[in-house]
Structure 1
Amino acid sequence: MVNSTEASYFILTAYSDTGVLKYLYFLIVLALYICIIGANVLLIVVICVNRSLHEPMYLFLCSLFVNELYGSSGLFPFLLVQILSDIHTVSAPLCFLQVFSVYTYASVEFTNLAVMSYDRYLAICHPLLYNTRMTYNMIVVLIAAIWFPPFFIVFVTISLSVSLQLCGNIINKVYCDNYSIVKLACSDTTVNNVYGLIFTFFMIMFPVSLIVFSYMRILRVCFSGCKQSKQKALSTCTPHLASLINFSFGAFFEVSQSRFNMSGVPNMLRIFLSLYALTCQPLFSPMMYGLNMSKIYILCKDLLLAGVRNNL
């Protein structure tokens, strides 16, 4: 039996001995991490340095890309070390720090996407009132709402988990997960479970309600408006919807994998599904917005071409 005072580290058992293949996995993960950093930093720089992009939609996009960098940096360096390591252990403080990083990333991502859907609703359904409603103060309030509540709520979640008395230290995943830690508890977890429901309501139900409301109104405009209005709505909403669906897909499989018995699923597939939202989303979002939004695409291309010319 291991109590809370003795659980100074956790063992991650989802890793398997892959021999020399671990170097291949290391290179693949490293390449993915470099691509994520490059794509998100490029778009952040483009939005920040071009005053023509200092509009609400692009500022919310910039917030999204900053979160992609934050979330991937909380996972990828850890994965790279663990892939090369022969002993897959992590200290308790580092484990809880990673849980905080992963959970805040996921919460901010979903909240950011919800606010972006509301921004598109105002722009498409109330274009004449857009500038009067989406003021600078409103943008500041919305960005604060994107970032501060998730950090506070997750901080309380981690504080409750740290205080639990644990009867084990084995986590069957490739990274630390709060639900897996709570399952190790041999003390009462009622408070954790109740708070978890509250956490779920605020971090999932509220953004989902805002997204559903926004897109129901947008679809109404698409079906009742002229052809030009439909095309404009589709062009601005397509990358957002694709990013939202991709993240929701990954989050669904991560929750399913944590909550239900998936022993019948091959280990490598389970690992891939558990990492999907944390690894594919940070690369998928900048690619979708960079390639589908002509204004960003043109500025990115000009910036890259200018860099190439300077190096020649």
Structure 2
Amino acid sequence: MDNSSVVTLFTLSGLSGTTNYRHTLFALTLLCYCAIWLVNLTIIVTIVVDKNLHEPMYIFLCNLCINGLYGTAGFYPKFLIDLLSTIHVISYAGCLLQGFVLHSSVTADLSILVVMAYDRYVAICRPLMYHSVMTTQRVCVFVFFAWLIPFYLVFLSSITTLRLRLCGSHIPKIYCINHLVGKLSCSASIAHVIIPAFNYTFYVLHILFIVWSYMYLLKKCQFSAENRSKFMQTCLPHLLCLITLLVSVYFDLLYMRFGSKKLPQDVNNFMAMEFLIIPPIINPLIYGFNLTQIKNRIKHFFVWQTSLD
């Protein structure tokens, strides 16, 4: 039997206990979403407009901010609508699309952080070769694959979810992800087990590579004051972004493992939303305050605007 003929709508029960303060939550969520757009768009526009920032590190940072807007766009508009509605449902196609956007955004974050780690490795450990290694063509290739590979792997996972025959339509969360849709399947398929396992392994290797690269960089920076300065200014923000992302995703994994019945619904919702709140706001702020060129460019813009007024 075709899957879509069995289930056409999913019900989301994550907001069932928020009736009394739904409008307050709507205002706070809208404010948060506006803040995400403001801080990320500021970094993106600053990098695009200033030709002095058209360097690999800033290009990768620009893509990290674009990915922050992409990922949150898969959640906040639907969530804001649900906050003003008494019925919380999502179509089968919409559920798969939302799951695809959220999964691909997280994995793209890791891919971009990997190329950023490689860029910092070359800049600090091979400074004389930096411009010959990080050419414009190579940077374009890195950016292309940092987006293509996550999209392709998550697309394969979504296809395996689409082929499952479902025996339920209730999702105890505020958004859809492939893992929860898979739990509604009548029977598991080999592909639905193997492909997600491969994806998880692939991105665990990403994390291990980043950790190894920073251990290597720390070792190289021990005996050079100049390299230590480079590390503190450019690598420390990157490391903080990675830690923020991993902690946020870890909370979401805790939700999937221990959520719903063992914790209050408000705690569940916060754990489910954390990777959609903290990294998209914190990442551009970390770089905006730590990278001197970006900070000076933003300051210059606001001073110029003030002088015009």
The answer to whether structure 1 residue 50 and structure 2 residue 63 are counterparts is no
Match of 1:235 in 2: 233
CA contact (8 A) 1:4 1:164 kept: no
Match of 1:248 in 2: 246
- Shift in Å, 1:205: 2.5
CA distance in 2, matches of 1:144, 1:31: 32
- Shift in Å, 1:3: 6.4
Aligned to 1:166, what secondary structure does the other structure show?
coil
Structure 1 stretch 140-149 or stretch 2-11: which is displaced more?
2-11
Structure 2 stretches lacking a partner, 5+ long: none
The answer to whether structure 1 residue 182 and structure 2 residue 188 are counterparts is no
Match of 1:222 in 2: 221
Give deviations 1:172-219, integer Å, cap 9, x for gaps.
1100011110000003322101111111122x1231232023112101
Compared CA separation, residues 153 and 95, structure 1 to 2 (3 A): same
Match of 2:101 in 1: 101
Aligned residues: 308
Match of 1:128 in 2: 128
Match of 2:206 in 1: 207
Q: How does 1:1-312 map to 2 (within 5 A)?
A: 4-202=4-202, 204-223=203-222, 225-260=223-258, 263-310=261-308, 312=309
- Shift in Å, 1:167: 0.5
Structure 1 stretch 301-310 or stretch 79-88: which is displaced more?
301-310
Aligned to 2:128, what secondary structure does the other structure show?
coil
Amino acid corresponding to residue 26 of structure 1 in structure 2: F
Structure 1 stretches lacking a partner, 5+ long: none
Aligned to 1:11, what secondary structure does the other structure show?
strand
Give deviations 1:253-297, integer Å, cap 9, x for gaps.
112221346632222112111111112111110111011111101
Structure 1 stretch 13-22 or stretch 87-96: which is displaced more?
13-22
Q: Tell me which stretches of 4 or more aligned residues in structure 1 moved more than 4 Å.
A: none
Give deviations 1:18-77, integer Å, cap 9, x for gaps.
334111100100001111111111111110111110111000001101101111111111
Tell me the percent identity. Answer: 34
CA distance in 2, matches of 1:117, 1:274: 28
CA-atom RMSD in angstroms: 1.6
User: What's the TM-score, normalizing by structure 1?
Assistant: 0.94
CA distance in 1, matches of 2:48, 2:151: 24
Structure 1 stretch 250-259 or stretch 168-177: which is displaced more?
250-259
CA distance in 1, matches of 2:74, 2:259: 27
CA distance in 2, matches of 1:136, 1:206: 26
CA contact (8 A) 1:23 1:84 kept: yes
Aligned to 1:159, what secondary structure does the other structure show?
helix
Aligned to 1:280, what secondary structure does the other structure show?
helix
Aligned to 2:19, what secondary structure does the other structure show?
coil
Structure 1 stretch 152-161 or stretch 254-263: which is displaced more?
254-263
User: What's the TM-score, normalizing by structure 2?
Assistant: 0.95
CA contact (8 A) 1:95 1:176 kept: yes
Give deviations 1:105-127, integer Å, cap 9, x for gaps.
01101111111111111111111
Amino acid corresponding to residue 237 of structure 2 in structure 1: P
Give deviations 1:221-256, integer Å, cap 9, x for gaps.
122x23332222122111111111000001111122
